Amino acid sequence: MNSDFLGTDFLGTDLLEPVMAAPRRPKLPQVACAFAPASVGNVGVGFDLLGHSLAGAGDRAEVRRIDEPVVRIAAIRGCVTELPTDPRQNTAGVALLALRKALGLQHGFELILHKGIALGSGMGGSAASCVAALVAANALLAQPLPRESLYGFALDGETVASGSRHGDNLGSMLLGGLVLATHERLLRIPVPADWHCALVHPHVVLETRKARAALAGHYALGEFVAQSSNLALVLAGCYRGDAALVREGLKDVLVEPRRAPLIPNFARVKQAALDHHALGASISGAGPSVFGWYDNRADAETAVTAMQAAFAEVGLDSDVWVSPVDGPAAALIPSLEADA
């Protein structure tokens, strides 16, 4: 064979320097689904500031990218369906409207909500709708935002339900676990993995606005000092993994005394929690759910049965959950029907 046949003269310069095609821009997804967990707002001593997520219950959202520059709520399903479908009056709708406006988006969103948290339960139902919708919508953006950047939009939505901008539920859903939430910042608080929460939700509705109205009136300076001391002890105990500090501090002397009359048999339910070695017990969010913290899961599981029995004494059925205090964050899921 003639060696010249395989030389560079035959191959030519075009084959030595192939033309590379421009890389294709990845196609953006058109639909995304997300789950946001329930939460324990306030955690007794951190009114409007402190909350932790709760494994088990939660809301789901499906968000679809649409060409129209609007937010549209196509359906609301699940355990609560009688909620506004006007996005300006719906917590998730307002959150998505705020996201569109802030980013100057040319497209819109169509939303389907699947409610897994009962209305007026004290488990962060309105917050979960906001967060699930935002996490799903964020996944449809060309440049998704960091989780913390969704917080302000969620605050806009939460205001529709409660009348105020507070992030105790929102922060824990966005980041997971125990979170300190100011108006401007979210700070995740470390908690030992063994610590668990027992929560009981009686089948009675307590609207957030009514629960907040119960707090109107004058407060003594000493009450604020005592509550601040208790919050400091709880935070220090969490950072140090010191259950004794949390046990000393997890006592709500400011809000609980004013809301307790709104919850049937609250004193007995709380005592049932304390009788089973709780680090502390109080009202979850605005109520009527009641929670207790424990330094092990076994005590939490025993306590939740006793707490449920205390509600049954006044004829109330209830649902129960036992979850790590360091609970899950909101997450994308394959579909509305998928397990979180």
What's the pLDDT score for residue 210? 84
Q: What is the pLDDT of residues 235-247, one digit of tens each?
A: 999 999 999 999 9
pLDDT of 21 above 90 = no
Longest Cα pair distance anywhere in the chain, in angstroms? 104
Q: How is residue 13 written in tokens?
A: 């310069």
**b/e 152-161 (16+ beta carbons within 10 angstroms → b):** bbbbbbbbbb
What's the pLDDT score for residue 16? 45
108-115 and 71-78 strand pairing: parallel
What's the pLDDT score for residue 26? 67
pTM: predicted TM-score of the whole model, two decimal places: 0.89
Looking up tokens 């479908």 gives: 85
Q: What is the pLDDT of residues 214-272, one digit of tens each?
A: 888 889 999 999 999 999 999 999 999 999 999 999 999 999 999 999 999 999 999 99
Q: How is residue 324 written in tokens?
A: 């790590």
| Four-point Cα dihedral 226, 232, 237, 240, nearest 10 | -150
Sequence-distant (6+) residues with CB within 8 A of 290 are: 199, 200, 263, 266, 269, 270, 273, 281, 282, 283, 284, 307
Q: What is the pLDDT of residues 274-323, one digit of tens each?
A: 999 999 999 999 999 999 999 999 999 999 999 999 999 999 999 999 99
Give the start-to-end residue ranges of the domains of the chain. Answer: 31-188+328-333, 190-324
Q: pLDDT band at residue 9, thresholds of 50, 70 and 90?
A: very low
Q: pLDDT band at residue 87, thresholds of 50, 70 and 90?
A: very high
Q: Which CATH number applies to 31-188+328-333: 2.60.40.1180, 3.40.50.300, 3.30.390.10, 3.30.230.10?
A: 3.30.230.10
| Architecture (CATH level 2) of domain 190-324 | 2-Layer Sandwich (3.30)
